[in-house]
Amino acid sequence: MPLLDRDDCVLVVVDAQPGFLPPDAAPAVERMAWLVAVAARLGVPVVVTEEEPERNGATDSRIAAFLPDGAPVFTKPTFGLAGTPEILAAVRATARGTAVVVGAETDVCVAQSAIGLGEEGLACVAVEDATFSPGEMHTRGLARMAAEGVALNHAKGVTYEWLRTVADAHAVLHDRALPPAPFRL
């Protein structure tokens, strides 16, 4: 897959809810929040899903705080978001050809969503350090996606591919509205 073009990307946040994010998921949550904030700053559309929010909670507040105004949040009754027509329609309505996927859990909803979006004709990138499953299931989910042609990247890589220039990096990365960077800039 070529470098990411921010004008062709949609950030998809899959089930980043307290019920799926125990305390050891904090590093992944920081990277999810970072990417949501950077996406909002750069005008990259964001689509959010929640599985059984009445049971698993709403999108984690550390992430929700940075959602752009009007970012759609959908209740997802299927593990893969492409199986829910209104969510797939929202992703398609962005008119972007590349879905950058973050969230939980890597081996179930993230994997099924990324693979399903690929089957629907979108290029798909899963962000390894901004997805989470407990224990070995994280690695297994990443391997499953890679085997199906989902590209893997990391939060810092996505950030700098969206920025592309030193001038954009200086203009964006020092914006006080962004959370602290979860990696060395």
Helix (H) or strand (E) holding 146: helix 137-147
Task: Record the pTM.
Answer: 0.98
Q: Write down the domain spans for the chain.
A: 6-173
> Would you say 122 and 93 are in contact if contact means Cβ atoms under 8 Å apart?
no
Helix (H) or strand (E) holding 173: helix 166-173
pLDDT along the chain (185 residues), means of 10: 97 98 98 98 98 98 97 98 98 98 98 98 98 98 98 98 96 93 92
The hierarchical CATH code for the domain 6-173 is 3.40.50.850
pLDDT value, residue 136: 97
Closest to 127 measured CA to CA, from 96, 104, 108: 104
pLDDT value, residue 119: 98
Structure tokens that stand for 10 in this block: 């949609």
Under DSSP, is residue 81 helix (H, G, I), strand (E, B) or coil?
A: helix
The distance from CA 5 to its chain's CA centroid, rounded to whole angstroms, is: 15
